[in-house]
Amino acid sequence: MSSKFATESAPEARHGGAWSLTLRMSVFVSVAITAIVLGVSAMMYSELVRQLQDKDEAELRENMRIQRDVLENLAVRHQPPNQWQFEWREYQEAYDDFGWQLLAPDRTVRDASANAPRFASALTPLHAQAAPARVDDTVDGRRRALLVHDLAVDTPGPEAVEVHGPALGPRGTVLRGVLDVSESLQLLEAYRAKLAGVVGLAILLSAAIGFLLTRRGLAPVRAIAAEIGRINAEKLHARIADDAWPAELRALAHNFDTMLARLEQSFDQLTRFSSDIAHEFRSPVNNLVAAASVTLQRARTPLEYQQTLEVVVEEGSRLSRMVASMLFLARADNAEQHVHLEPLALAGEFQKLIEFYEIAAEEQGVTLEARADGHLTADPLLLRRALSNLLANALRYTPRGGTIRLLGESTRDAVVISVSDTGSGIAARHLPHLFDRFYRADAARSSTDSTGLGLAVVRSIAELHGGTVDVASGIGQGSTFTLRFPRTPSTSPSA
């Protein structure tokens, strides 16, 4: 059993057709961690981009505001330069990343910073830029990023116009500024490179850690598999349920132990069944061989030959009934017994049974009584067989002067049929096993025309109809066998 389990448990794994559970969970953990790392990295990167953009735009606006103040104070109001204006000029000469142009209303250049030629592509008078705009260009093969912004400036003279809000009038004097933000671009590129390395390392580490943690977490599963692998046909009594297993695996172990218990019970029943078959078949076969051997030892009279043939017929009939019952039970166990349901009147079915057994009952001095109410949906042949087995069993063990009652009644959800007798009864210790195959309560309740399979057949027929059968009995109180069929049949394919 263990070798078969081992060879059938993972056929796909041997051929590479499926991933192991450890590998699957490791991949899931790695994908989850990777998604989290990528999500966090994307958020951090986008936040860094936003902050750098805000910083660059704020720097550009601040530089342009200062430059506008310088122009308005010097060129417009003709005021002498202040100390801060000298410092600003020195700062501009040292800080070469900011440039500007002063554009007349006709968009001609009135003035420009000394480094304006460096930003010619961005400072070319185009459409007015009310908000900082990004311009990409290349200088000496080096990629460069620039921010361009326009700011209205008050100018003297008749061409001056009033500017309201951020919108720039087509005739206003405009200060166009540009800021080289390539340093921020390089910072973002370096950050992306480092971030890619960190994400890659995180993926590798998450894959390794996920594999180790998953393998360690699945160690109880491997332990259970090893325990199961040690179970074979000789160790069906073994159990693997243990409180040491994790909560998720305790249910699995408990269900497996339940399955083992069923297998053990079925195996024991099969073993007993095989032993009972050999025992039950031995008696009639021995009787046949003994009768034939004794008859053949010397010449016999016709009457003696006739008596021998009667023994042969009797034992052969017993073997035939036994084989027929065993075939029926085998078909029921293997879902090969078909049930043909029909609506049946209980009174009519009882009358047929009484008529069939009436002569045998009169010969034994036993009274048959029947009372029925309602209808039943069942297979007529199987129902008659079950009731016949119960009646034959009652006749076999009811003494002269006794009574056998066949009762049927309908309840709200079931149809109940009972067969009771006034025989000697059955001890309580035998009742749980009474429907087992070849089981007999005691030698006194055995007879040569009994196969020991009649009650097992009755139980199989009841279960084929989705019903049940039970027995109530006591020493000196007789026995009552009760069949309970559902009003709406739910047939079971096997017993």
Tens of pLDDT, residue by residue over 35-74, are 888 888 889 989 999 999 899 889 888 888 888 877 776 6
Position 282 in a domain: yes
Do residues 479 and 354 both lie within one domain?
yes
The whole-angstrom separation of Cα 73 and Cα 183 is 32
> By C-alpha distance, which of 221, 253, 250, 249 is closest to 238?
253
Position 202 in a domain: no
Q: How confident is the model at residue 207 (pLDDT cuts 50, 70, 90)?
A: confident
User: How high is the pLDDT of residue 130?
Assistant: 61
Do residues 266 and 370 both lie within one domain?
no
Position 263 in a domain: yes
Mean pLDDT of the chain: 77
Residue 394 sits in a domain whose CATH number is: 3.30.565.10
**Residues 414-427 pLDDT 10s:** 899 999 999 888 88
Residue 481 has pLDDT above 90, yes or no: yes
Do residues 482 and 336 both lie within one domain?
yes
**Residues 167-189 pLDDT 10s:** 333 457 888 888 888 888 888 88
Do residues 269 and 374 both lie within one domain?
no
> By C-alpha distance, which of 478, 385, 483, 495 is closest to 423?
478
More confident of the two residues 282 and 150 = 150
> What DSSP string describes 367-412?
EEEEEE-SEEEE-HHHHHHHHHHHHHHHHHHPPTT-EEEEEEEE-S
Tokens 């069942």, residue located: 378
Domain that holds residue 376: 332-486
- Which of 4-18, 143-157, 206-220, 251-265 is predicted with the least confidence, judged by mean pLDDT? 4-18
Do residues 315 and 343 both lie within one domain?
no
**Residues 396-445 pLDDT 10s:** 888 989 999 999 998 888 899 999 999 888 888 888 888 877 776 655 44
- If one counts the domains in the chain, the total is 2
User: How high is the pLDDT of residue 418?
Assistant: 92
Residue 252 sits in a domain whose CATH number is: 1.10.287
Cα-Cα end-to-end distance for the chain? 25
CA-to-CA dists, residue 477 to 298, 426, 427, angstroms: 51, 9, 10
Do residues 322 and 363 both lie within one domain?
no
Do residues 316 and 438 both lie within one domain?
no
Position 98 in a domain: no
Do residues 295 and 358 both lie within one domain?
no
Do residues 474 and 337 both lie within one domain?
yes
CA-to-CA dists, residue 166 to 56, 133, 149, 151, 179, angstroms: 19, 14, 11, 8, 19
In this prediction, residues 455-461 reach a mean pLDDT of 87
The whole-angstrom separation of Cα 194 and Cα 208 is 21
User: How high is the pLDDT of residue 157?
Assistant: 43
Within 8 A by CB and 6+ apart from 282, the residues are none
- Given 298, 331, 364, the domain boundary residue is 331
pTM above 0.85, yes or no: no
Residue 15 has pLDDT above 60, yes or no: no
**Residues 294-333 pLDDT 10s:** 888 888 888 888 888 888 887 787 778 777 777 777 766 6
Do residues 411 and 303 both lie within one domain?
no
User: How high is the pLDDT of residue 7?
Assistant: 42
Alpha carbon dihedral 85, 87, 92, 98, in 10-degree steps, equals -70
Do residues 317 and 371 both lie within one domain?
no
Position 454 in a domain: yes
Q: Any bridge partners for residue 133, and if so which?
A: 148
More confident of the two residues 7 and 121 = 121
- Given 304, 331, 358, the domain boundary residue is 331
Do residues 352 and 468 both lie within one domain?
yes
Alpha carbon dihedral 230, 236, 238, 241, in 10-degree steps, equals 90
- Given 331, 348, 367, the domain boundary residue is 331
Position 152 in a domain: no
Q: How confident is the model at residue 490 (pLDDT cuts 50, 70, 90)?
A: low
> What DSSP string describes 85-110?
HHHHHHHHHH-TTEEEEEE-TTS-EE
Position 277 in a domain: yes
Position 323 in a domain: yes
Kindly calculate the radius of gyration of the chain based on its CA atoms and give it in whole angstroms: 51
